[in-house]
Amino acid sequence: NASHRHAAEASRLAIERAVREHLAAGAAARRAGDASRARDAYLRALAQNPQQADAAAALRAIEQQQMARTQADRAARARSMETLVAGAKSRAQAQTQAESYDLEQRIELVRAGDVSAGLREAQAWAEANAGDREGRGRLAAAVAERASDAERKGQRENALSLYEAAN
């Protein structure tokens, strides 16, 4: 039937024209950097003609670019997290060193300086660092050592108060 052949040919030409338009729109969107719009245009071209190789190839290329971008973003986030963790570790280490120095100062103050001032500082440190059993033990040992010295010198009451403070 000639009218059916004519209608089929008109449909084929309309499909080809629509595919060309969608391909052109996809290419323009890709050049503009709008991957989402380009993908939509290429999908419309494939909907018109599922055999359209250019649209399928363009969709694969867009997908590969997005995967590469996603992987690069993930790698950047991982590097960022590594940097954050390293910074936190270095800050924690610096804080630990500062706390250790702070403890050492107080121990030396108890050993060599004014006993009452040393005890006040030691007690303040012990209250501020209640979870640091090792540091508290070192402070107590320094105070007990000072008490032992006072006991050897015959200062029994002073030694007793120092032993109590060590406890």
pLDDT in tens, 37-70: 999 999 999 999 999 999 999 999 999 988 988 8
Q: In tens digits, what is the pLDDT along the chain, a chain of 167 residues?
A: 888 999 999 999 999 999 999 999 999 999 999 999 999 999 999 999 999 999 999 999 999 988 988 888 888 888 888 887 777 776 666 555 555 657 777 777 777 767 777 778 777 877 887 788 888 888 788 888 888 888 888 888 877 887 888 77
**Comparing C-alpha atoms, which of 113, 96, 98, 110 is closest to residue 138?**
110
Whats the size of the chain, residue-wise?
167
What is the rounded radius of gyration, in angstroms, for the C-alpha atoms of the chain? 40
- What is the token pair recorded at 86? 């390293």
Residue 26 CB burial class (10 angstroms; 0-12, 13-18, ≥19) = buried
Instruction: Report d(CA 35, CA 4) in Å as an integer.
Output: 40
pTM over 0.85: no
